Amino acid sequence: MKQIIIEQNLNEMKAEVLIIGVPEHPENIEGWDQFASTFNTKLSDWVKAGDVKTAFKQIVRMPSFGEQLYDRVLFIGLGARKSLTEDRLRQAFAAVGKELAQMKASSVAIWTTPFTNDKLTCEDVASQAAEGLCLGSYKFEGYKTGSNEQDVSLDTVTLISLADAQLLKEAFEVGQIYANAVNEARNLVNMPPNLLTAKEMATYAQGLAAKHGFEIDVLGKKEMEELGMGAILAVNQGSVEEPQLIVLKYAATDTWEDVVGLVGKGITYDTGGYSLKPRDGMVGMKGDMGGAAAVLGAMNIIGELRPEKNVIAVIASTDNMISGEAFKPDDVITSLSGKTIEVLNTDAEGRLVLADAVTYAKQAGATSVIDVATLTGGVIVALGNDKTGALTNDEAFFETFMHASVETGEFVWRLPLTENDKKRIRKSDVADLNNSPGRDGHMIFGGGFVGEFVGDMPWIHLDIAGTSDAASAHDLGPKGGTGVMVRTLATVVTRMANTDLANE
């Protein structure tokens, strides 16, 4: 959206579509009778008759009548008003966003009061309206030829509210920043692997750095060889595409200390290597860089909001291909940390590139780290496609993270990592570690392997194999890349910044 307008009077706004939230018993809303009079007092009758629905996310369209300042009306059911939360607001406005995209509307007006309750302010409505409308109306343009018809985008949003205009605008702008970053991450996940190579991902990161004033360093194959990054180099052996280690630094303070690291898996395509995936298992592997997309999206938000927290983002990017030079089961490789790894499964490559990436982040000053990756099918077996799996070694760090997760509505479930699990990861006749102890507990072993390179540093591992891509349309968007964890990663950094400031 290019313009946000605040109006206090319904009769002073102009828009193509007027959006009206309709909770159960709307007559109890302050100002409802006056608002209903705009419709010749018929609105309450329509609600009672069921022509206008109050059930959550039920939408009814209606053309304007008489001499109105809007062309069409869109009613969105809210259910019980007391049950509204930020997450439910986001879902409701996303449903509206999908409908507006079909209507090809370029301007809308929203009366904020029906969307509020004892816990939700008009500012909350503004931020969630921005997120929901942007996320719901997202569309990946793709590469089809044919129609030259241009999509109509939503340019102007008018909020009808008596609340402070500046606070409403700021809340809306923050929501829009969050949603736009998610949509950019979705674009990356949806891109085909012949177009989004590791070098192209590095080019995208360089654009972010230029936009936000980040320090950036991109390591290629030569630099990796000089440093001894044997894990990522092993994964890259079968490829004609050069690997890239992308490093973004956001310095919020004068001293480079108390740094949170965001580490993303950037496998631009995964064949499984010599542990070859089945034919159907390869389809969709363009999205194996969903962790990298999440980190880049979070950095986009961080660059806009400028929290008082130092951040280093490290993305290990390559594809995992087959050739005469590709690494193979039974190989032993030496990681950046110096630890040796027996390769039992070349399709367990994500944990290898993450091993070097978290080691690099640690050496570059990170004092805590969150790694995010489409790491295992095991997380889908355990939790389904709608939950992100997590491991951690630090209760306080994880509690801060979970507060952020609840705030953004991105469901995360923690799994245990026991000493017995660690023993199995460390079991090898020829090396310090093995990269694939077995199928049972697969998600735990995958994330736990990465934890072996973290040491005592507070650490959270996020497995988004189930949540980074949607097989069909969902509450917040269409089929394809979801941009999951973009909002949560940015929110946890902001929360950590606020905690640090409060403790000063």
Tens digits of residue pLDDT in 459-496:
999 999 999 999 999 999 999 999 999 999 999 999 99
Q: Which residues contact 5 (CB under 8 A, 6 or more apart)?
A: 13, 156, 157, 158, 159
Q: How far apart are the first and last CA of the chain?
A: 38
What was the pLDDT predicted at 84? 97
Which pLDDT belongs to residue 28? 86
Q: What local confidence, expressed as pLDDT, does residue 70 receive?
A: 81
Residue 144 confidence (pLDDT) = 87
Active-site residue set = 277, 351
Residue ranges, CATH 3.40.220.10, the chain: 3-140+154-160
- DSSP per position, 263-319: EEEEEEEE--TTSPPPHHHHTTGGGTTHHHHHHHHHHHHHHHH--SSEEEEEEEEEE
- What's the gap between Cα 96 and its chain centre? 20
Edge to edge, the sheet with strand 412-414 lists 215-219, 244-250, 310-320, 259-270, 366-373, 459-463, 388-392, 412-414
User: Which among 445, 431, 455 has a CA at the least distance from the CA of 375?
Assistant: 445
Cα 346 to Cα 328: distance, rounded to the nearest angstrom:
6
Helix (H) or strand (E) holding 399: helix 395-408
Residue 295 and residue 483: Cα distance in Å, rounded? 10
Give the mean pLDDT of the chain. Answer: 94
Q: Where in the chain is the domain with CATH 3.40.630.10?
A: 183-503
Give the pLDDT band of residue 502 (cuts 50, 70, 90).
Answer: low
- The CA distances from residue 224 to 105, 144, 228, 230, 340, in Å, are 50, 38, 6, 8, 16
Is residue 182 a contact partner of residue 137, using CB atoms and an 8 Å limit? no
State the average pLDDT over residues 75-84. Answer: 96
The rounded percent of the chain whose pLDDT value lies above 70 is 96
pLDDT exceeds 80 at position 377: yes
CB neighbours of residue 143 within 10 Å: 8
Sheet holding 70-79, edge to edge: 3-7, 156-160, 107-111, 15-23, 70-79, 59-63
**265 touches 232 (CB < 8 A):** no
Contacts for 262 with CB less than 8 Å, ≥ 6 apart: 295, 298, 299, 311, 312, 313, 314, 369, 370, 372, 489, 493
Backbone dihedral region of 438: left (phi > 0), alpha (psi from -120 to 50 degrees) or beta? left
Q: What are phi and psi of 103, to 5 degrees?
A: -80, -10
CATH 1.20.140.160 fits 3-140+154-160, yes or no: no
Beta-bridge partner residues of 392 = 460
Task: Return the amino acid letter for 408.
Answer: T
3-state secondary structure at position 84: coil
Coil, strand or helix at 131: helix
Q: What is the pLDDT of residues 117-149, one digit of tens each?
A: 999 999 999 999 999 999 999 999 889 887 656
Q: Which amino acid, one-letter code, is at 175?
A: G
The predicted structure's pLDDT at residue 44: 79
pLDDT number for residue 2: 76
Please provide residue 332's backbone torsions phi and psi, each rounded to the nearest 5 degrees: -120, 125
Mean local confidence (pLDDT), 329-343: 98
| Confidence class for position 33, pLDDT limits 50, 70, 90 | confident
233: closest CA among 119, 329, 327, 124? Answer: 327
Task: Give the mean pLDDT of 277-294.
Answer: 96
205-219: average pLDDT: 98
Structure tokens at 202: 């590095």
The domain covering 183-503 belongs, at the CATH homologous superfamily level, to: Zn peptidases (3.40.630.10)
Show the tokens assigned to 231: 């894990």
Q: How confident is the model at residue 343 (pLDDT cuts 50, 70, 90)?
A: very high
- What's 113's DSSP letter? G
For residue 145, the model assigns a pLDDT of 86
Q: Indicate the pTM of the whole model.
A: 0.96
- Do 253 and 308 form a contact (C-beta atoms < 8 A)? yes
Compute CA distances 245 → 105, 199, 295, 317, whole Å: 42, 10, 13, 6
What is the rounded distance in angstroms from the CA atom of residue 146 to the CA atom of residue 125?
Answer: 39
Give the model's pLDDT for residue 69.
Answer: 75
| pLDDT-based confidence at residue 39 (cuts at 50, 70, 90) | low
Q: For residue 257, give the 3-state DSSP assignment.
A: coil
Rg of the Cα atoms in the chain? 24
* Integer Cα distance of 437 and 270 in angstroms: 20
Cα dist from 215 to 77, 264, 355, 388, 498, whole Å:
46, 17, 23, 30, 23
**Residue 431 in tokens:** 């090396």
- Token pair recorded at residue 116: 């509020």
At residue 152, the pLDDT reads 73
Contact 335, 225 (CB under 8 A): no
Structure tokens at 266: 């950037």
Residue 41 is predicted with a pLDDT of 60
Tally of CB atoms within 10 A around 336:
23
Does pLDDT of 318 surpass 60? yes
Nearest 5 degrees, angle CA 265-CA 268-CA 135?
75
